[in-house]
Chains A and B, each alone.
Chain A
Amino acid sequence: MNLNGCNRLEEVRHALSQGHWPQACAELQAHVQTCARCAEEILVTKHLQGLRGTSIAAAQPGSASLLWWKAQARRRNAMLQQMERPLLAGQLVALAIVLTIVAGIVMSYSRGVWTSSAATTSNAWNWLLDAWGLLPVLAAAGVVVLLAAVILYLVLPVRYRDQHHPQNG
């Protein structure tokens, strides 16, 4: 199997690409009659270029501006997704803080049920104030509210715009 083929192949390719075939010189035509590799090259190239011509004539490409805006929308969505990633992390942190606080309250309260006199009172809030003091509770609540507000501020307008202007993404 000779992959390199004929040493006149480049000449044949050049004639084909320049549209000089079959008007190429008689000597090259005579060579092609005797060279299977060059004949194969011409046969396949002519056939495929014929198909290319008919396909190009039949093609009905759509609107370029539609594709342009589609790409803009996709890029914008990608940027928004990139931006929303830290927001998701913020939401997870807020959730973790809330869960930690709730778990702390539950654990402290249940311990108090068994060990302290707080078990006798029906007012859990008063017991909580006695056990923890007001300051840490308020600080934790403040952090949660602040994070929730920031997340709402950033996320809600984006979703609102996406719903009302779908052509922009």
Chain B
Amino acid sequence: MNWENVIPGIMTGAAAQTADPAMDSDQFAAFYERSSRQLWAFLARTSGDAALADDLMQESYVRFLCVRPLAEGEIASRRYLFRIASNLLRDHWRRPRSLSIEDAPMERLAQDTSAQMESRLSLEPAMASLRPRDRQLLWLAHAENYSHREIAEITGLGVTSIRLLLFRARRQMAQALEKNGRGTL
């Protein structure tokens, strides 16, 4: 008895290709083309790290493909993609890290190329004055034009909390912009 006949596809990997009849590689490529730049902008501007944004964007799409293809339409898929990216960012920020240069492992310092240092310093001043979560909320609300309900779905926060957090973050950012001389309407 051949087990590959008993469990078709699993041993050859064919199941992975046929599991989602709603989506093929061309459809994914089109969706990627339409959504990847926006996702990268979100990740880069809220993290302030272009290299990290590259990594998290790739991981977001891979997880998205593993979990949910385009079955529920592009708008829902895009929102789901942002949700994955938002969770990845949150996990990144929660990860313990060295607080001082003495605590940092030598091999890590040796790997830190000037390009990486540069990429890490790209956070815009008004954004840098905010907490990471506030940056995310502001970006989703004002750059991506998501409603409070959609932001709640993406971030996992309550709608009431989002309204309050957005109110404070917006005020803080407006003050930072005025302080930096960018307060013109």
Chain B residues contacting A3 (CB-CB under 8 Å) are 163-164, 167
Interfacial residues of chain B within 129-152, with CB under 8 A of chain A in the complex = 138-139, 142-145
A102 CB, min distance to chain B CBs, angstroms: 30
Q: Are A44 and B142 in contact (CB-based, < 8 A)?
A: yes
**Residue in B40, B138, B173 whose CB lies within 8 Å of A55:** B40
Q: Are B57 and A169 in contact (CB-based, < 8 A)?
A: no
Q: Are A52 and B41 in contact (CB-based, < 8 A)?
A: yes
CA of A42 to CA of B183 in the docked complex: distance in angstroms?
A: 10
Q: Are B124 and A79 in contact (CB-based, < 8 A)?
A: no
Please tell me which stretch of A67-75, A93-101, A130-138 contacts chain B, meaning at least 4 of its Cβ atoms lie within 8 angstroms of it: A67-75
Chain B residues contacting A40 (CB-CB under 8 Å) are 170-171, 174
| A17 interface residue (CB < 8 Å to B) | yes
Q: Are B16 and A48 in contact (CB-based, < 8 A)?
A: no
Most buried by B among A41, A61, A65: A61
A50 CB, min distance to chain B CBs, angstroms: 9
Chain A residues contacting B171 (CB-CB under 8 Å) are 40
Could you say which interface size class chain A belongs to? 35 or more
Q: Are B13 and A62 in contact (CB-based, < 8 A)?
A: no
CA of A154 to CA of B2 in the docked complex: distance in angstroms?
A: 10
| B7 interface residue (CB < 8 Å to A) | yes
| A22 interface residue (CB < 8 Å to B) | yes
**Residue in B29, B164, B183 whose CB lies within 8 Å of A68:** B29
- Complex: chain B residue closest to A57, CB-CB: B37
Q: Are A67 and B58 in contact (CB-based, < 8 A)?
A: yes
Chain A residues contacting B54 (CB-CB under 8 Å) are 62
Could you say which interface size class chain B belongs to? 35 or more
| A128 interface residue (CB < 8 Å to B) | no
- Tell me if B's interface is mostly helix, strand, loop or mixed: helix
CA of A72 to CA of B14 in the docked complex: distance in angstroms?
A: 9
Chain B residues contacting A72 (CB-CB under 8 Å) are 13, 16-17, 65
Q: Assuming A17-B145, A70-B62, is B185 touching A64 (CB within 8 A)?
A: no
| B61 interface residue (CB < 8 Å to A) | yes
Q: Are A44 and B173 in contact (CB-based, < 8 A)?
A: yes
CA of A70 to CA of B28 in the docked complex: distance in angstroms?
A: 13
**Residue in A17, A22, A32, A62 whose CB lies within 8 Å of B58:** A62
Chain B residues in contact with chain A, CB under 8 A? 3, 7, 10-11, 13, 15-17, 19, 25, 28-29, 32-33, 36-38, 40-41, 44-45, 54, 57-58, 61-62, 64-66, 124, 126-127, 138-139, 142-145, 163-164, 167, 170-171, 173-174, 177-178, 182-183, 185
Interface CB pairs A-B, < 8 A, 8: A39-B174, A44-B173, A45-B142, A47-B177, A67-B32, A67-B61, A67-B65, A68-B28
8 closest A-B pairs by beta carbon, nearest first, are A71-B65, A55-B41, A61-B36, A64-B32, A64-B29, A59-B37, A59-B40, A48-B143
